[in-house]
Amino acid sequence: MECPHLEESAHITAPPLDVTTENSPQKFTCSVCRTDQSPWICLKCGVVNCGRYISGHAKLHHEMSSHPVCMDCDNYATFCYVCDEFVINDTKASHLDQLRKNLQSPTAVIPSSESQENDRKISRRPSSESQENDRKRLKKEDRLKTRSKSSGLRNLGNTCFMNAVLQSLSNIQEFCGYIKKLPSLDEKPPSKAKRVSHRKSRNTEDVLLVEELRKTLIALWQGSKTAISPESLFSVIWKVVPRFRGYQQQDAHEFMRYLLDRLHTELLSLLPYPNSNSPFIGPKGRSTIVTAIFGGLLQNEVMCLICGMESKKHDPFLGTKDKDSVQPMLRLSDCLSSFTDTEELEESELYMCSNCKKKQRSTKKFWIRRLPNVLCLHLKRFRWQSCYRVKVETFIEFPLRALDMNRYVLNNLHETRGSSGGSNLYDLAAVIVHHGSGAGSGHYTSYAVHEDTWYHFNDSTVTACDIDTVARCKAYILFYVRREIKLPDYLAGQDNGH
């Protein structure tokens, strides 16, 4: 949005200078807690404090000083606390543009001769133990600075939910490789463009989400920039899914569902997917890359507790969701067992029994009838308490390799439980994490593995991380890839590498 407070609040054009090594970038730390995570500079006085998802000292500075506008020192986004929005305009004198240029340039400040002399006087030769500790620290820092081939995604204003999903999907090689190799759909026939619209509206007839996603994934893996700005993709999302218009925080899982559903619908209308009897059939009777990769099938069994009549229904799914839990710690296997356990329905959910001809008490049980190639497990991190939603902080222990799904798959005439061997073994590919305590606030980041190295994707920043760091995170969405990928004939044999 265009902020009306810039002229009176944006005066800073250069960051405060620290003594740094020549030609090295300046390191910004919070003036209160000294953290270097998420530094924001006040555009009125130049003080640097941490963002709201760390300790919130930048927001506290605004509340105490009435200085409303600040800039992120990492991705250069500008935010106004009075407007409560990210800012897209600049001052007449281009203060924001000048500050961005100065933030991007390495700052080298040469100490005076007097300060150099004082440094020599107080310096001491470090001990061998101190030198060894320094070497270990530098070695670890160098390893963690290893840059992924993928770029980061700039935050356009509470768009971390989108960035976390996109980075996770971009590291699902079979999906990402297919989308990247699609032909450009910019020169699309008008008749086909109309067929992908969810509504007969001029706002949605001329835009294609799949085309903007294709461009974004290609840009992510060019590796020429540390971060790219997904403005065009976000603009299309606003048009085709009005639910996500604006800059308020959204739910990452809800966004992923809308994104995959829309992609499936567009691809069915635009590309000649064959009709077949393969198990990879989507809701419209045909399969796309979306259902071939993420689609599975549940069997929902309801049994009347009065007469014993059973009703079975098959439901396609693009992910499974665990049930409520307030325990301090669980294993992922506990969640999966809870999902497939038999439960008695509440009085408010009485089942209309076709045998008794009236609503009766009943039980419900889910089976996984067909597993997807990529299993998306959505952990229920939010629950209703009175009239508002609260965050569930339960730590879920999850395997990074060899998740065995055999025990949760329905037995049938052709296959008994456990007989599939490696075909139902899954390895973790990505994790989305929600940071913060509120259901309508907080921050999303993601972890993903590429060429045996795990990376942490935090909007513009992409850093290598330890596997132990991934294992300790409080996962919100887990992406597991089947070891033995099963694809329909029209996708089999395609080179899906990055």
> Could you confirm whether 443 is annotated as catalytic?
yes
H-helix segments, 201-279: 202-205, 209-220, 231-240, 252-270
> 40-61 b/e with 16+ CB inside 10 Å = b?
bbbbbeebbbbbbbbbbbbbeb
3-state helix, strand, coil in the chain (%, to 5): 30, 25, 45
**Residue 347 carries which DSSP code?**
G
* Residue carrying structure tokens 């407070």: 5
- Half-sphere exposure of residue 348, counting CA atoms within 13 Å on the CB side? 0
Tokens of 25: 């970038």
Q: Are 195 and 204 in contact (CB under 8 A)?
A: no
Instruction: With CA atoms as reference, report the closest residue to 233 among 150, 151, 152, 159.
Output: 159
Distance CA 254, CA 274 (A): 29
Which entry of 50, 73, 80, 160 is annotated as an active-site residue?
160
Instruction: With CA atoms as reference, report the closest residue to 40 among 59, 22, 24.
Output: 59
Distance CA 326, CA 23 (A): 51
How close are the terminal C-alpha atoms of the chain, in Å? 36
Distances (CA, A) of 411 to 292, 299, 367, 416, 420: 22, 11, 9, 5, 11
Instruction: With CA atoms as reference, report the closest residue to 12 among 108, 68, 96.
Output: 96
Distance CA 210, CA 242 (A): 17
Tokens of 254: 């809800």
Distance CA 299, CA 312 (A): 7
* Residue carrying structure tokens 């403005």: 231
Q: Which residues contact 59 (CB under 8 A, 6 or more apart)?
A: 52, 81
Q: Backbone phi, then psi, for 191, in 5-degree steps?
A: -65, -40
Which entry of 378, 443, 450, 456 is annotated as an active-site residue?
443
Q: Are 102 and 14 in contact (CB under 8 A)?
A: yes
**Residue 438 carries which DSSP code?**
B
Return the active site residues: 160, 443
